Chains A and B, each alone.
Chain A
Amino acid sequence: MKYLLSAVIVLGLLAGAVWAQESDQPSTAAADTAVSADTVSVAPPAPVGNLRAYDSDNDHGHAVTLEWELSPDDGGGDNSVLMYEVFRWYPYFWDTVQEVRAELVTARQRRVQGTLDVEGDPDDYVKELVSRHTELLSTLPEAHEQYPDDGEFRLVRAVPAGTEKFEDRGPKDRLAEDFLPDYCDFYYRVDAVTIDESVRTPSQIVGPVQSYGQWFNTGRIVVLCFVLVFGLLTILFVQRARSGAELYVRPIAGIEAVDDAIGRATEMGRPILYVLGLGTAADVATIASFTILSRVAKQVAEYQTQLIVPTYDPIVMSVAQEVVKSAYLDAGRPDDYSQDIVYFVTQSQFAYVAAVNGVMLRERPATNVYMGMFHAESLLLAETGAIAGSIQISGTDQMAQLPFFIVACDYTLIGEELYAASAYLGREPVLLGSLKAQDVAKAAVVLFALIGVIVTTAGSSVFQNLFKVTD
């Protein structure tokens, strides 16, 4: 028994190695070792039961899933099953396809390296191969229809005993060696293999089965539902707000402080520093920050205070210039606008911080506003600002940086408050409407969570499964 066990372990490892290696042909190396190590003769095991094959769900095609019931001799009975080998029926025509494919791949490689040596134009040669390959692939389904003539079963892969499911998945690149074509009639067989490779029992053959890509991922229905519900909610509340319904927004301390801070800067005759963070123009925090910048710039223009906006991302710089420019225009002071209010520093995190810190100590801004996405630099900025004695207002959705802003700044917008700030500042009905929609969604979450907790406490995982999203 000990022998058998150790041989099984050795073989398992070898099988893994074989599996990882190229193994279009059943490798005999593993079996040889085992037989020489142990010459116990084994009886053929029972075959796997109820073999099923179907196109893999929710994918882009090029995959077939196989499922079976374990052989009674796997984990019970004689316990003689070592692994299962999955076979697929290949028409001999496939070899022709492979030959052309291999030729094409080498020809292309050589063409790139400039070592392709053929008569005539090398490009025409490759083109001709490409069209031949395409043509052969298009006749592949017909070749599969010939089953069981002109073909044979070939090993796809060996899987260790105890496996009940296998996905035969190939890349979608048609030039890959193990490309798995769509819309071909495949036939599969699974062998239960014992320690002696020659002692094996094949299963029933399943087929035909075709693989193909799906147009809708059913595993993501939950997400779709949410998208639809949330989208409708937003539109509904925006409409309501447009038609004049009063919508309340609770005061947000950090935002109210902005107005005072601008006044203070004006009194002291010192500039205001606005930092947009390290986000790109596509980051939601940066988008929210643009709206706040627009408001700050407008007021700065009215009070004729100086504004400094160093940026980290060139696209953010372009957008911010646009924002500040139109804010000055709105304030009726387009002449005060200069392109150097918003400038680019560098796209390197700490070089940017070094430069902004320099500005803080040299220009001595009365107020520093940090809104957007921040990383490790948050504390460097905020502490330097505190040393320079500026009033500091910050806001970020980066969880990890919130503690530093809270500790080092006078006011901090926590997470979602940053997004809400844009609605709060603008008081535009459409923005307020979407804020209301967010709140309704949050209430729904609280409700769901409440039900979920109760159901889960009662010992059921129904609710949890409802929220599962497949990949």
Chain B
Amino acid sequence: MQFFERLMMMDRRWVFLFLAAVCFFTYYVEYDVPIYVEPETERIYTFIDSLPEGDIILLAIDYDPNSMAELHPMTYTIVEHAWRKNLRLIITALSQNGPGMADQAIRDISDSLAMPATYNGVEYPAREIVNGEDYVFLGYKPYYALVILGMGQDFRLPFPNDYYGTPLDSLPMMRRVVNYDHVACVISLSSGTISDGWISYGQGRFGFPLFFGLTGVMTAQYYPFYGSGQLSGLMGGMLGAAQYEFLADNYGLARDAMKVQLPAHVIIILFIIMGNVGYFASRRRERLGGVS
């Protein structure tokens, strides 16, 4: 068994071990990773940033807790950005396991709004976030396609009451807000087929500006919709979230996680290179062996 063959045939458990070791180690070390901003993300940021005060954004927190790592940072930074700009939010959670998590996130961000903050050189005073005035949390209903279609008629159709059981009509913010006609845009953060639903049942039928925050895997799949204009912007995975955090000047979870990403990527690339070096070397040896 020669060195190169070993390089090629290494047991997968070594790969697992190296990767785990690197991830655990770099999680500790403090260092800062520079961020490179892509235009797809920038378009989301600019759109939200330029909305006039009081406009309504429909934010769909449609992911499961298992995609929290990638999508939660987006929720945190977008919601904080919107509230700092005095925009209002209608929030849905169309994933079965999502509402509790979304509710927790809303509370967390409300708390952080109670502190003044300075982003991109602008000082934002502390303010209290009021349920029913600054946001409405609609919660979960099964069969997202029906819900998306239903909200196109009237938010009250699928959600006569909000997550906390208050009738929508009694919330000051929902007065005169009937359906998608009254929101500036829809931002869907999702980790599954719900995003297809937002395109075909939502944007396809009702034609609102639609932005996506997706997990890294899904992002590539949605570029055709970005190219065809059905999507007005999209951000993918942790990198997209980190870019948004960078644009909003709000250091958060995503940029924190980027420091593990980088070494992990390097490790995987090294393994791929090792595998190929081994492959070529052993093939060469075979060929030479055949000649002699």
Are any A and B Cβ atoms less than 8 Å apart in their complex? Answer: yes
- Using a CB–CB distance below 8 Å, which chain A residues touch chain B? 12-13, 16-17, 19-22, 169, 171-173, 176, 178, 350, 375-376, 387, 399-400, 471
B193-221 Cβ-contact flags toward A at 8 Å (1 or 0):
10000000000111100000000011011
Given A13-B54, A169-B181: A400 and B176 interface contact (C-beta under 8 Å): no
- Using a CB–CB distance below 8 Å, which chain B residues touch chain A? 12, 52-56, 66, 153-154, 175-178, 181-182, 191-193, 204-207, 217-218, 220-221
Q: Is the CB of A471 within 8 A of B154?
A: no
CB neighbours (8 Å) of A21 from chain B are 175-176
Complex Cα spacing A419 to B12, Å? 35
Given A20-B176, A173-B154: A399 and B221 interface contact (C-beta under 8 Å): yes
Complex Cα spacing A173 to B66, Å? 39
Complex Cα spacing A19 to B55, Å? 11
Q: Is the CB of B207 within 8 A of A400?
A: no
Task: Point out which of B56, B178, B181 has the most chain A C-beta atoms below 10 A from its C-beta.
Answer: B178
Given A13-B52, A13-B53, A471-B207: A400 and B221 interface contact (C-beta under 8 Å): yes
Given contacts A16-B52, A400-B218, 9 further A-B contacts (CB under 8 A): A13-B53, A20-B175, A22-B176, A171-B153, A171-B154, A176-B154, A375-B193, A400-B221, A471-B207
Complex Cα spacing A239 to B205, Å? 35
Nearest residue (CB) in A for B182 is A20
Q: Is the CB of B54 within 8 A of A376?
A: no
Contact of B217 among A20, A22, A400 (CB under 8 A): A400
Q: Is the CB of B218 within 8 A of A471?
A: no
**Tally of A-B Cβ pairs under 8 angstroms:** 43
CB neighbours (8 Å) of A399 from chain B are 220-221
CB neighbours (8 Å) of B207 from chain A are 471
Task: Name 20 A/B residue pairs within 8 A (Cβ), A-sorted.
Answer: A13-B52, A13-B53, A16-B55, A17-B54, A20-B54, A20-B175, A20-B182, A21-B175, A21-B176, A22-B176, A169-B181, A171-B153, A176-B154, A350-B66, A376-B217, A387-B12, A400-B220, A400-B221, A471-B206, A471-B207
Given A375-B192, A400-B221: A20 and B154 interface contact (C-beta under 8 Å): no
Q: Is the CB of A171 within 8 A of B176?
A: no
Complex Cα spacing A400 to B220, Å? 7
CB neighbours (8 Å) of B175 from chain A are 20-22
CB neighbours (8 Å) of A12 from chain B are 52
Q: Is the CB of B177 within 8 A of A20?
A: yes
CB neighbours (8 Å) of B204 from chain A are 471
Q: How far is the CB of B62 from chain A (nearest CB, A)?
A: 14
Given A22-B176, A400-B217: A471 and B153 interface contact (C-beta under 8 Å): no
Q: How far is the CB of A63 from chain B (nearest CB, A)?
A: 10
CB neighbours (8 Å) of A387 from chain B are 12
CB neighbours (8 Å) of A376 from chain B are 191, 217
Q: How far is the CB of B187 from chain A (nearest CB, A)?
A: 19
CB neighbours (8 Å) of A19 from chain B are 176
Q: How far is the CB of B60 from chain A (nearest CB, A)?
A: 18
Complex Cα spacing A16 to B87, Å? 12
CB neighbours (8 Å) of B182 from chain A are 20
Complex Cα spacing A258 to B181, Å? 51
Complex Cα spacing A20 to B176, Å? 6
Nearest residue (CB) in B for A19 is B176
Complex Cα spacing A178 to B176, Å? 9
CB neighbours (8 Å) of A16 from chain B are 52, 54-55
Complex Cα spacing A364 to B182, Å? 56
Q: How far is the CB of A29 from chain B (nearest CB, A)?
A: 15
Q: How far is the CB of B155 from chain A (nearest CB, A)?
A: 11
CB neighbours (8 Å) of A172 from chain B are 153
10 smallest beta-carbon distances between A and B, as pairs: A399-B221, A400-B221, A471-B207, A471-B205, A400-B217, A400-B218, A22-B175, A171-B154, A17-B54, A16-B54
Complex Cα spacing A190 to B191, Å? 46
CB neighbours (8 Å) of A176 from chain B are 154
Q: How far is the CB of B151 from chain A (nearest CB, A)?
A: 13
Complex Cα spacing A272 to B153, Å? 48
Q: How far is the CB of A154 from chain B (nearest CB, A)?
A: 15
Complex Cα spacing A173 to B156, Å? 11
Q: How far is the CB of B176 from chain A (nearest CB, A)?
A: 6
Complex Cα spacing A62 to B253, Å? 47
Task: Point out which of A21, A22, A387, A400 has the most chain B C-beta atoms below 10 A from its C-beta.
Answer: A400
Complex Cα spacing A332 to B207, Å? 55
Q: Is the CB of A171 within 8 A of B221?
A: no
Complex Cα spacing A169 to B52, Å? 24
Complex Cα spacing A13 to B55, Å? 10
Complex Cα spacing A91 to B157, Å? 29
CB neighbours (8 Å) of B192 from chain A are 375
Complex Cα spacing A16 to B191, Å? 35
CB neighbours (8 Å) of B218 from chain A are 400
CB neighbours (8 Å) of A13 from chain B are 52-54
Nearest residue (CB) in B for A401 is B217
Q: How far is the CB of A212 from chain B (nearest CB, A)?
A: 18
Complex Cα spacing A90 to B193, Å? 46
CB neighbours (8 Å) of B193 from chain A are 375
Complex Cα spacing A399 to B214, Å? 14
Q: How far is the CB of A423 from chain B (nearest CB, A)?
A: 25
Complex Cα spacing A16 to B88, Å? 13
CB neighbours (8 Å) of B176 from chain A are 19-22, 178
Complex Cα spacing A16 to B55, Å? 8
CB neighbours (8 Å) of A17 from chain B are 54
Complex Cα spacing A400 to B217, Å? 6
Q: How far is the CB of B87 from chain A (nearest CB, A)?
A: 12
Complex Cα spacing A350 to B97, Å? 13
Q: How far is the CB of B166 from chain A (nearest CB, A)?
A: 13
Complex Cα spacing A17 to B56, Å? 11
Complex Cα spacing A16 to B193, Å? 35
Complex Cα spacing A17 to B204, Å? 29
Complex Cα spacing A400 to B219, Å? 8
Complex Cα spacing A92 to B198, Å? 42
Nearest residue (CB) in A for B192 is A375
Complex Cα spacing A399 to B66, Å? 21
Complex Cα spacing A19 to B176, Å? 9
Complex Cα spacing A269 to B153, Å? 58
Complex Cα spacing A173 to B182, Å? 18
Complex Cα spacing A173 to B154, Å? 10
Q: How far is the CB of A67 from chain B (nearest CB, A)?
A: 17
Nearest residue (CB) in B for A469 is B204
Q: Is the CB of B178 within 8 A of A171?
A: yes
Q: How far is the CB of A456 from chain B (nearest CB, A)?
A: 14
Complex Cα spacing A172 to B157, Å? 11
Q: How far is the CB of A376 from chain B (nearest CB, A)?
A: 7
Q: How far is the CB of B120 from chain A (nearest CB, A)?
A: 21
Q: How far is the CB of B190 from chain A (nearest CB, A)?
A: 12
Q: How far is the CB of A33 from chain B (nearest CB, A)?
A: 15
CB neighbours (8 Å) of B181 from chain A are 169
CB neighbours (8 Å) of B54 from chain A are 13, 16-17, 20
